[in-house]
Each structure stands twice: as C-alpha cells, then as structure tokens.
Structure 1
Amino acid sequence: MYIREEAFPFAGPLAVGGAVCAAAGAPVAGAAFLAAAAAVCAFFRDPERTGPASEALILSPADGHLLPVVREGGKVRLSVFMSVFNVHVNRAPWPGRVASRTHHPGRFMAAWKDKASLDNEQVRMVWDTARGPMEVVQIAGLIARRIVSWAIPGREFERGDRIGLIRFGSRVDLYLPEEEVDLLGREGQSVRAGETPLARWRDR
C-alpha cells in the first residue's frame, strides 16, 4: 500500500503546522494537526488489489457499499457509495478503451441520494468493450468537491486498473446492458474496487 501524491497538498501543511505547534510548546495542538495529517494520508491510501480469475466477471469500480439497483432504458445501474473512511481510488470494472469522457457541472448533495446521479457534479465515461458500450460515472458528493479522472479518451485499461479518484466522500455509478448480465451484488453489500464481482456477462 502507498499514499497517493494527491494527499501531499493537504497533509503537508497540516504536518508542518503540527511541527510548529510542538516547537512552540503547544503539544496538544501539534498532536491535533499531526492526527489530521495522518487522517488525510489514510484517505488517500492506495492498496494493491487482485481480482478473481474469471474474465466473465465485472468488478466493482469503487470501495464502499452497494446502493439499490436501478433499471432504466434497457440498462442496469449499479451504484457504490464511498464514505470518507473508504479507499477512494477508482478502478476499471472490465477491460476496454475510453471512447469519451464528459464533465458535467452540478450540485453537491449527499452522494447516496438517488437524485445525485442526475444533479451532482460528475465525470461520465463511455467505454468500448468486447461486449459493447459500458458507462462509468464518477459523482461528487456533499463533502467531495474534486473529481480526478485518469481515463483519457483513447486510453485502454485492463480490469482493475486505476482510473481516478474522488476527494472526501462520493459515489461511482456503473451502467451495464440489462439483457447481457447476471447481477451478483446485492443492496447494502460492502464492496472493494478491483476485487468484488458485481455482475457476470451471460454466455452468448
């Protein structure tokens, strides 16, 4: 496990503040600053992950718990809500090439609400895969105000590759063709990006 470099602009000043307070004879304040720096580093942790061997399995794109499944327009939406305690690095659910990436400005309501999929700030990615288009949507939440996406259009990813992160609590939606998959995840289930199967492609 390592700490992503995105943590340093937040953790660095806190650590310096802790050192200054300690040197100035304010150990309690110094300890508080250092504890906050450690919490920020924990938020930006990035553990290695190993997924199951079966290539038919579609893995969770995020750590957190699974929200209610939504079926709409021939697609099934699987949504993972990430609290501030979860790992926030997002991963590719299945191999593919990023066909498009679109940023949609919006609100910052609580990410677990169903309307967050429509109204919140988000980055929507369409992937070309061997089984057809797949959509992955990073959604900002009440605390999260910064979406980081490494999924540049034209870039190819393997299942489990890192595709981005969202700072301080958020959500990722995964849209799959309803008639092509069997769902494996269940509402409320705790899931891990790049490890937990959410669905399985049906045999053609």
Structure 2
Amino acid sequence: MRIHKEGHSMLLKTLILVVVALVLLYFFTPIYVYGAGIVVFSLLYLFLLRFFRFPNRPQLTDDGVVYAPADGTVVVIEKTFEGEYFKDERIQVSIFMSVWNVHINWYPIKGVVDYFRHHHGKFLVAWHPKSSTENERTTVVLNNGKSQILLRQIAGFLARRIVCYAKEGEKIEQNQQMGFIKFGSRVDLFFPIGTEINVELNQKTTGGQTVIAKLK
C-alpha cells in the first residue's frame, strides 16, 4: 500500500508520540493499562495509514467527459447561483468525503487553470448548505478551450487543512492530482446550464473513474 506524500509528516510525528506514550505507560501504569494502550494506539495508527492511502488506479482520459474529482457520495445536484467567479446560475454537483474515503483530489478535465483562490473561513460540517461559501475553501476554475467548470475544495468540521497544487495559467492533465483534504470534507463542481449530469443523489463516486458529466 502506498502512502500519499501529504501524510508522511503526520504519520512520522504520530509514530513518535505513540512510542513515547507507550514507554510512559509501560513504566508508570499497570500492565493491563499498557496492554490497552497498545491496542488503542495501534488502531489509531492503522486508521491514519488507511486515511492517507494512495490507491493504484488507471489514469482515464476522455475530452468529452468530466471525471469525479474525489471519492465520496453525491449529496447535491441542483441549479444555484455561483457568486465568486461566474456570478450567474450554474448546475452544482457536490461530493461529500467521509473519513473513510480516499482524500486525494484529481483534476476532472484537461485544460488550463484560469483562476485560483484560497479562502479562510469557518469549519461547519461539510454537508451544511452554507459550508460552500463560509468554510475554509479553495476555488479553482478550469478551462478546456470550449467551456469552464469551477471546482471548490471545502473543509469540514474535522478537515482543518486543504492542500491545493493549482496555479493560475498552469496547464493540467485530466486526472492529474490537484490536491488533498485532510479528514471529512466536500468537493463542489459548478457546470454551465444544460450540461448533461451523469450521476444521481446518494451515488458513490470513485475519484478519476466515475463520469460526473458530459460536456457539450
């Protein structure tokens, strides 16, 4: 199993803390407390290893489709006003990522990064309607030469750090890594009105594999 680079530092620091804690438990607590500590800390570390896993997946490419930028569950499909960049009505598709999902984010199309912003904000639960505009988030607008889509990484109640590799003017490939969100979070996509959406509410998505929409 590969571990994503965003987890290397946290895993090393956690391992050091676990070793120190177990040494203290060994010398200063009854043996049954030490045994319980081994079990609890082992489970915690295994959870972190699983969270930062980097799955082996084929890099699919198709200029006519938009692939899922994240693993998770589709929680929103609706027309909404996008007020940061387009300032008009768009089709919003939102994918909620639980702590059990892979938290890597991928570029859903090939093209150029037209716009990038990181916004500081609150840490409402990721499925809260206001999290899209009030939470810690990034906004990335991608242009494939024919149309633009907006992708927004949103921090959740547990997600306190968003990593995004996007740079304005950068050429990107479909299913190239875009970033990483640590712990529960959400990714929003905003499409032009009339875009054919290929997912349904509560559908599970696999990042870089599930077709979210077809572009005209």
TM-score (norm: length of structure 2) = 0.86
SS at match of 2:13: helix
Aligned to 1:126: 141
User: Retained in 2: the 8 A contact 1:138–1:172?
Assistant: yes
Question: Alignment length, in residue pairs?
Answer: 201
My pick for the range that moved more, 29-38 or 165-174, is: 29-38
1:197 aligned onto 2:211: yes
Shift of 1:53: 5.4
Q: Distance in 1 between matches of 2:16 and 2:35?
A: 13
Counterpart-to-counterpart distance in 1, 2:15 and 2:47: 11
Q: What displacement does 1:36 show? A: 1.1
Confirm or deny: 8 A CA contact 1:140 1:171 kept in the other structure: yes
1:18/1:31 contact within 8 Å kept: no
The percentage of counterpart residues that share the same residue type is 31
Matched, 1:62 2:47: no
Instruction: Tell me the secondary structure at the aligned position of residue 76 of structure 2.
Output: coil
Structure 2: distance between partners of 1:53 and 1:141: 30
CA change 1:51–1:4 in 2 (3 A) is: closer
Q: Within 2, Cα distance between the matches of 1:115 and 1:107?
A: 10
2:44 match: 36
User: Secondary structure in 2 aligned to 1:112?
Assistant: coil
Cα drift, residue 125 of structure 1: 0.9
Given residue 4 of structure 2, which amino acid in structure 1 is its aligned partner?
R
Q: Find the aligned partners of 2:40 and 2:13 in 1 and give their Cα distance.
A: 13
Instruction: Mark the structure with the bigger radius of gyration.
Output: 2
Give 5+ residue unaligned stretches, structure 1: none
Give me the whole-angstrom Cα distance separating, in 1, the residues matched to 2:17 and 2:119: 36
Give CA deviations for 1:76-116 in whole Å, capped at 9, x if unaligned: 11110000000000001110111221111111111112211
Q: Of the candidates 52, 56, 60, which is equivalent to residue 48 of structure 1?
A: 56
156-165 vs 1-10, greater mean Cα deviation = 1-10
**2:166 and 2:54 mapped to 1: Cα distance?**
17
Cα contact 1:105–1:121 (8 A) shared by 2: yes
Q: Output the aligned Cα RMSD.
A: 1.8
1:80 and 1:38 mapped to 2: Cα distance?
A: 25
Q: Is the 8 A contact 1:18 1:29 kept in 2?
A: no
In structure 2, distance between residues paired with 1:172 and 1:201: 19
Following superposition, the deviation at residue 68 of structure 1 comes to 2.1
Q: CA deviation at 1:51?
A: 5.4
Match of 1:142 among 157, 162, 165: 157
C-alpha distance in 1 between matches for 2:62 and 2:161: 34
In the alignment, is residue 186 of structure 1 matched against residue 197 of structure 2?
A: no
Matched residue SS, 1:103: strand
| Aligned counterparts of 2:3 and 2:182: Cα–Cα separation in 1 | 13
